[in-house]
Amino acid sequence: MFDPNKLTEMLGNFQEKAKELEEKNKNKIYTSKSGGGLVSVSMNGSGEMIDLNIDSSLLEDKESLQILLISAINDAYHNINQDKKNEALNMLGGLNLFGQS
């Protein structure tokens, strides 16, 4: 049977776990490379870029540099979002909304 008090308690626990997970993710580093490693981007779990490396051979080729930067940044964001989705699904999997064992 559905217990509204249990739901309130579980939602409170969920919010606490979500905050803990957000703090934990800030410390994770996601690195993505493009162009065979000519461009490398590192971001933390909050989506802030913390490192960028560009091979000097790209400095004369603006168009290639732009394409490789876009690719590396998009890939890093994708990895961050995918990890967040997986973590959220793992948290939701632990919720027992209807009190069933």
Structural domain boundaries in the chain: 27-93
Long-range contacts (CB closer than 8 Å, 24 or more residues apart) made by 29-38: 30/76, 30/79, 30/80, 30/83, 31/76, 32/72, 32/73, 32/75, 32/76, 32/79, 33/72, 34/68, 34/69, 34/71, 34/72, 34/75, 35/64, 35/68, 35/71, 38/68
At 101, the pLDDT band (50, 70, 90 cuts) reads: very low
Look at residue 11 and tell me whether its pLDDT is greater than 80.
Answer: no
Q: Per the CATH hierarchy, to which homologous superfamily does domain 27-93 belong?
A: Nucleoid-associated protein YbaB-like domain (3.30.1310.10)
pLDDT at residue 95, rounded to an integer: 56
pLDDT digits (tens, 9 = 90+) for 14-69: 778 778 877 887 889 999 999 999 999 999 998 999 999 999 999 999 999 999 99
